[in-house]
Amino acid sequence: MFAGKTRKSLQVLVFFVYNMKITRKDILTKEAGPRITRIEILSPDIARKARPGQFIALMVNEKGERIPLTIVDATQTTITLIFQEAGLSTRLLGKLNVGDSLYSLVGPLGHATEIKNYGSVILVGGGVGIAEIYPVAKALKKAGNHVTTILGARTKELLILEKKLASVSDELHITTDDGSYGKKGFVTDVLKELLTHTPKTLGTYGPTALVYAVGPIPMMKRVAMVTKDSNVKTIVSLNAIMIDATGMCGCCRVSVDGKVKFSCIDGPEFDGHLVDWTELEKRTKVYTQQEKHICNLSK
């Protein structure tokens, strides 16, 4: 009885001492541009519940802001996050090392992706959005789909997770804006080709039933335009600016099919054909001046 209580107390102590600690860190990009880093964080409670498409909100320190990041992978005890250093909070996160702890970590948040056998699916990832499509590609492949993946980056050095995405895809296409690797051009060029000439390799899987895209807003907007012409269901995971990530502040508001939705609790995935992209673009730029100012002050 006493031994049981002691073991339980020890487990609780270990949980508080080690929970939210970084257990692994890798820099995924070379010096070419904004750094992309992968970290593993000990968080058994979130790891056990996480589903593809969901995210966490974390704070690096007590005075920091909450930032949302996608759960890219999970084991029984850890979650993997992959983030690009975009501003102050992601830069501070990039400075943490193995053994350091986060100040707070909440999740899993948002609705999980609907995973089922659609037949043939195309996943499109741009920039750090490549990390965000990985868990979905892996789950869709496991569900028996024919998975075609299109990855896009500005240049070769900024392309991440090529091998990991290849391992869960039947077909992999790569584009770079500058032509330094793969095909020169944009992901939408390949997408257009694929949708107009259905590859013979699809066999019994049939025509594309779903396109799933994550990346910069202009990329997702263009993907939705291309697929609207072909009338293919399109899901996008929106990166609206979030503050509380619990549906309280209204900051992540988006208009979908003329209705107000909160990305954090109603999303982050929505039908790409119904999103008001112009409004979303405007809203994500609202704090640009303040963000630049804060970033300069912190240098």
Among 99, 179, 207, 250, the residue binding ligand FES under the rule CB under 6 A is: 250
Q: Is 73 in the site for ligand FAD (CB under 6 A)?
A: no
User: 142, 80, 86: which is closest to 116 by C-alpha?
Assistant: 142
Distance (Å, whole) CA 30 – CA 78: 26
Q: Is 284 in the site for ligand FAD (CB under 6 A)?
A: yes
CB of 109 to ligand FES, least distance (A): 9
User: How many other C-beta atoms can be found within 10 angstroms of the C-beta atom of residue 199?
Assistant: 15
CA angle centred on 68, ends 285 and 145, rounded to 5°: 105
Q: Is 262 in the site for ligand FES (CB under 6 A)?
A: yes
Residue 251, helix vs strand vs coil = coil
By the 10 Å C-beta count (0-12 exposed, 13-18 middle, 19+ buried), 13 is classed as: exposed
Q: Is 270 in the site for ligand FES (CB under 6 A)?
A: no
By the 10 Å C-beta count (0-12 exposed, 13-18 middle, 19+ buried), 272 is classed as: buried
Q: If contact means CB under 5 to 8 A according to the sort of partner, which of ligand FES, ligand FAD, none does residue 87 touch?
A: ligand FAD
Q: Is 245 in the site for ligand FES (CB under 6 A)?
A: yes
Contact string (CB under 6 A) for ligand FAD, positions 98-137, x = contact: ------------------------------x--xx-----
Q: Under the rule (CB under 6 A), what is the footprint of ligand FAD?
A: 55, 67-70, 82-84, 86-90, 128, 131-132, 239-242, 268, 284, 288, 291, 295
Q: Under the rule (CB under 6 A), what is the footprint of ligand FES?
A: 242-245, 247-252, 262-264
